[in-house]
Structure 1
Amino acid sequence: MASLILDDIVIEQDQRPLLSLDTTVAPGDVVTVMGPSGVGKSTLLAFIAGFLSPAFTPRGRILLGETRLDTLPAEQRHVGLLFQDPLLFPHLDVEGNLAFGMVREGSRRQRRERIHEALTSVGLEAFAKRDPATLSGGQKARVALLRVLLSQPRAILLDEPFSKLDAERRDEIRHWVFERVRHYRLPTLMVTHDEADARAAGGRIITLGDTP
């Protein structure tokens, strides 16, 4: 297990600084980044994941342990990204969605067994052949996180992951997500507007200032 290191990160837009950040996220820790809209929270996650728009100019280094990520293409970074929308593929059933991002190790039967074990762990063992459109918001959120975990990431990024959930399910899903990232000892960086999300994460909170 390795720490996620953001080493003197600066992201500029139109030659003006948008954000700067220097921090380390230890394995199993959840660090929350907060700030007003437009301050660059999602832009930061895009830079870490490898999807930064050419409209932005980054400086600094992103490391996962001894591995420098910002010089690698997105598919080689092994960073899982969970959005506020589950983004499940509508043309695939639940099992197909979970299989999509899996590392192709072992036989097809072994991969299906891993999927079954994952679904069982969240009480969805009977849902493998279900159409994602028939799932509740909480069920979709669990499937989305399982898909990320089954891809065997080395770090997790959470982009407003609970904002679309109703209040009744929100606390439960929050607890479930944070429990999983701690269990797998994944360094986790979350951006959110919601102070309740930040408190529930239980880790450090970094507040970015207004856009210059």
Structure 2
Amino acid sequence: MLELDAITVASPERVLVRRLCARVAGGEVLAVMGDSGAGKSSLLALLAGTLPPGFIASGRILLNGRDIGALPTAQRRVGMLFQDDLLFPHMTVLDNLLFAIANRDSRAQRVLQAEAALRRAGLEGHGGRWPASLSGGQRARVSVLRALLAQPQALLLDEPFSRLDAALRQRFRAFVFECIREQACPAVLVTHDVQDVPAGAQVIELAPEPDSA
């Protein structure tokens, strides 16, 4: 469960988010919409622990009952999925996935986990390929697998569908939301497109306030 309790975010010029409250259960999606400059990216940065200096934030971020607001990014157990796949070009697909899996397991066990994930994504046999040899849709699927293999307790989606063509976008959306449901991971999706919002998702529309922070 991800809980946002009276979250306020302000830039030096104005309030972007004021006293936002939301609860996102495992497998559910909170969709955050709004025009450019409305505070969507700032909200994600706050949740990830990467809010730039000069911004002011208050409120509590609770993840499975733990207040993560003061923790560094690496300790929050929050995954990120961006517009670009951000795969390591010098690593094979398999090694990209192994990078995300905790080293507490043997390499053989980690390889089995990665190969099982590739099969689920329809990418069986692609582990030895380089990211540059994959199609855009294949790279996008590998990026989702890598994010989820790290076993995040929450997932942040920063317009991950925006650069895909219409046909691929629809299939990739379905794949991402299916993975979120299967892993029972609460997710926060930032998007400009209402078609990116899955059925049954909570939707919050952000609009910046004109007054000075």
- Structure 1 residue 93 and structure 2 residue 89: aligned? no
| Aligned residues of 1:30 and 1:201 also touching (Cα < 8 A) | no
| Aligned residues of 2:159 and 2:190 also touching (Cα < 8 A) | yes
Q: Give the equivalent residue in structure 1 for 2:2.
A: 4
- Structure 1 residue 209 and structure 2 residue 207: aligned? yes
Partner Cα separation in structure 1 for residue 97 and residue 72 of structure 2: 23
After superposition, the C-alpha distances for 1:158-183 in whole angstroms (9 at most, x for unaligned) are 00010111111111110111011011
Cα deviation for residue 201 of structure 1 reads: 4.7
Partner Cα separation in structure 2 for residue 211 and residue 91 of structure 1: 44
The secondary structure found in structure 2 opposite 1:158 is strand
Aligned partner letter, 1:108: R
4+ residue stretches of structure 1 with deviation over 4 A?
none
The secondary structure found in structure 2 opposite 1:23 is strand
Q: Give the equivalent residue in structure 2 for 1:27.
A: 26
The secondary structure found in structure 1 opposite 2:180 is helix
Q: Give the equivalent residue in structure 2 for 1:192.
A: 191
- Structure 1 residue 72 and structure 2 residue 40: aligned? no
Partner Cα separation in structure 2 for residue 106 and residue 16 of structure 1: 47
Partner Cα separation in structure 2 for residue 158 and residue 147 of structure 1: 14
Gaps of 5+ in 1: none
Cα deviation for residue 15 of structure 1 reads: 5.9
Distance 1:201 1:75, change over 3 A: farther
Q: Give the equivalent residue in structure 1 for 2:170.
A: 171
Partner Cα separation in structure 1 for residue 29 and residue 16 of structure 2: 23
Identity of aligned residues (%): 50
Cα deviation for residue 211 of structure 1 reads: 4.7
Gaps of 5+ in 2: none
Q: Give the equivalent residue in structure 1 for 2:14.
A: 16
The secondary structure found in structure 1 opposite 2:110 is helix
Write out aligned runs for 1:115-194 (5 A).
115-194=114-193
Cα deviation for residue 93 of structure 1 reads: 1.0
After superposition, the C-alpha distances for 1:64-111 in whole angstroms (9 at most, x for unaligned) are 121111111111110111001111111111111111122112111111
The secondary structure found in structure 1 opposite 2:51 is coil
Partner Cα separation in structure 1 for residue 183 and residue 114 of structure 2: 16
RMSD: 1.2
- Structure 1 residue 52 and structure 2 residue 88: aligned? no
